[in-house]
Amino acid sequence: MMKKIYFREWGLESRNYWMLLAVLAAVAGIGGLAALYMEHHGHWVTGMSNQIVWGTPHVFAIFLIVAASGALNVASIGSVFNKTIYKPLAPLSALLAIALLLGGLLVLVLDLGRPDRLIVAMTTYNFKSIFAWNIILYNGFFVIVGFYLWTVMDRKMKCYYKPAGVTAFIWRLVLTTGTGSIFGFLVARQGFDAAIMAPWFIVMSFGFGLAIYMLVLMDVFKRDQRPLGDAIMKKLKGLLAVFVAANLMFMVTFHLTNLYGTENHAFEAFILLNGGIYTAMFWIGQVLIGGLLPLAILFHPTLSLSRGWLTAAAVMVVVGGWMTIYVIVIGGQAFPMALFPSKTILESGFYDGVNGMASSYTPSVPEVLLGLGGVAVALVVTVIGIRMLKILPLSLADEVADPHAGI
């Protein structure tokens, strides 16, 4: 029989708590100032142009949004698939999902040309647009996951726990499908137009979200000196390894599918061989840091037992994941569009890939600061959430969260 699990507010010493909050708020504030600066002058102060229309803010935003739906997975395994050991992890999972989505959306909105017109986006819909659907999906995510969190935390709401959990799980799958479809339906650009984008984004979300979840879990437990046993970490570690491997598999499938058609060879050569920064980011970031290295650690018989190495693996999944999105989003735009198939553009007044040349993009400082600000907002929400609400279990020591008791 499992011991009863008690949830308590994060008990960090007041001074440390406010210090942590102040640091995070400062980063978020700087991000806000960066957005204000770009908004005041216009986008010419960024590295974005009429060629690379989505830049670093979009990489951060998409990464956070994808990770948000993934962070909810830990809760879903408990509530939808009835794995008892995951149940005490659910409140943090739901909170983190809301926090990450908020951070990501904030970055996305603050990068709009007219962020002051957000109300237009909320009230005027073109239902043929994936973007419009995503606005509804994102808003719904907040409501559904918020309600789910309520059913998890309030005993009186127990009867709604299961349906809320199932709805949240389905909603998050649809949401990531929507995010992937933003790129999947872009027939104009070779780097995007692929149906595999939607499922691939779902698989990515599993990995990114779980890695962030593990990092936050380990950190907040350590700071509050709450016991976190190996039983639970072993479960999460194994899960992360599966997700990272699946992500690699989808990546290979995407590129192999492209390589099958001759028309895509130039694009594949760009990403895999001669695309400069994008090629480097692909092999070093996407394949090595985001894939092979963390896999090696997670499957290693002794390294994977160390919390330090586990942290390193999760950080790698996050960093490599960010680079994966960078290669997809910006690399996909940098590669010139095929305006005139089987012709070479010799001259152009609008940078149409003259002689096959890729478009150039250098991230500007305010873009990066805005993105980091979004990350900080996500963490601020998480930290305040665990401080004010009974999100975290007092202990996840092995004798409390024994995996053999409930499964």
Binding residues vs other proteins (CB under 8 A): 14, 41-44, 48-51, 53-54, 112-115, 117-118, 120-121, 124-126, 128-132, 135, 182, 185-189, 192, 333, 337-352, 387-388
Q: What is the spatial distance between Cα 23 and Cα 29, in angstroms, rounded to a whole number?
A: 10
Q: What is the CA radius of gyration of the chain?
A: 22
Nearer to other proteins, 48 or 380 (CB): 48
Give least dist CB 25 to other proteins, A.
12
Give the DSSP H or E segment for 8.
strand 7-8
Nearer to other proteins, 73 or 177 (CB): 177
Give least dist CB 44 to other proteins, A.
4
Give least dist CB 380 to other proteins, A.
13
Nearest Cα residue to 382 out of 88, 25, 15? 25
Nearer to other proteins, 81 or 125 (CB): 125
The gap between the terminal CA atoms of the chain, to the nearest Å, is 11
Nearer to other proteins, 302 or 342 (CB): 342
Nearer to other proteins, 42 or 308 (CB): 42
User: Dihedrals φ, ψ of 350, to 5°?
Assistant: -145, 30
Q: What is the spatial distance between Cα 201 and Cα 310, in angstroms, rounded to a whole number?
A: 24
Give the DSSP H or E segment for 7.
strand 7-8
Give least dist CB 366 to other proteins, A.
13
CB 379 within 8 A of CB 65: no
Give least dist CB 237 to other proteins, A.
34
Q: DSSP secondary structure string, 84-114?
A: GGGGGGHHHHHHHHHHHHHHHHHHHHHTSS-
Give least dist CB 126 to other proteins, A.
4
CB 82 within 8 A of CB 388: no
Nearer to other proteins, 136 or 315 (CB): 136
